[in-house]
Amino acid sequence: MKNDSVFVYSSDLLGYKFSETHPFNQLRVQLAYELLRDSGCLEDEQIIKPRQATDEEIMLIHDPGYVEAVKQAGKGQLNREIALNYGLGTEDTPIFPNMHEASSWIVGATLTAVDHVMEGKSKHALSLSGGLHHGFRGKASGFCIYNDSSIAIEYMKRKYKARVLYVDTDAHHGDGVQWAFYDDPDVCTLSIHETGRYLFPGTGSIHEKGAGKGYGFSFNVPVDAFTEDESFLECYEKSLWEVAEFFKPDVIITQNGVDAHYYDPLTHLSVTMKTYTEIPRIAKKVAEKYCGGRWIATGGGGYDIWRVVPRAWSYLWCVMNDQAPSGQIAENWLKRWTSEAKHPLPPTWEDESGIYKPIPRKEEITSKNRATLEKCLYSIKKSS
Ligand SMILES: [Zn+2]
Query: Who surrounds ion ligand 1 at CB < 5 A?
Result: 170-172, 257, 259, 301
Q: What are phi and psi of 217, to 5 degrees?
A: -125, 15
Distance in Å, CA 92 to ligand 1 centroid: 12
Where does residue 354 fall: left (phi above 0), alpha (psi -120 to 50 degrees), or beta otherwise? left
Question: Beta strand 164-168 with 187-194: parallel, antiparallel or unpaired?
Answer: parallel
pLDDT (tens digit, 9 = 90+) per residue, 329-356?
999 999 999 999 999 999 999 999 999 9
Taking the C-alpha atoms of residue 263 and residue 227, their distance in angstroms, rounded to an integer, is 13
Alpha-carbon distances, residue 91 vs 94, 95, 272 (angstroms)? 6, 9, 29
For helices 99-118 and 148-160, give the axis angle rounded to 10 degrees.
40
pLDDT on residue 3? 66
| CATH number of the domain within which 175 lies | 3.40.800.20
For helices 27-38 and 309-320, give the axis angle rounded to 10 degrees.
50
Taking the C-alpha atoms of residue 382 and residue 209, their distance in angstroms, rounded to an integer, is 11
Could you list the residue range(s) of the whole structural domain that residue 237 is in?
5-383
Distance in Å, CA 44 to ligand 1 centroid: 30
Where does residue 130 fall: left (phi above 0), alpha (psi -120 to 50 degrees), or beta otherwise? beta
Q: What is the DSSP letter of 199?
A: S
Distance in Å, CA 240 to ligand 1 centroid: 19
Burial zone of 69 (CB within 10 Å; 0-12 exposed, 13-18 middle, 19+ buried): buried
pLDDT (tens digit, 9 = 90+) per residue, 271-324?
999 999 999 999 999 999 999 999 999 999 999 999 999 999 999 999 999 999
Distance in Å, CA 184 to ligand 1 centroid: 24
Distance in Å, CA 259 to ligand 1 centroid: 6
pLDDT on residue 1? 40
pLDDT on residue 2? 47
Is residue 246 pLDDT above 70, yes or no? yes
* The total number of structural domains that make up the chain: 1
Is residue 129 pLDDT above 90, yes or no? yes
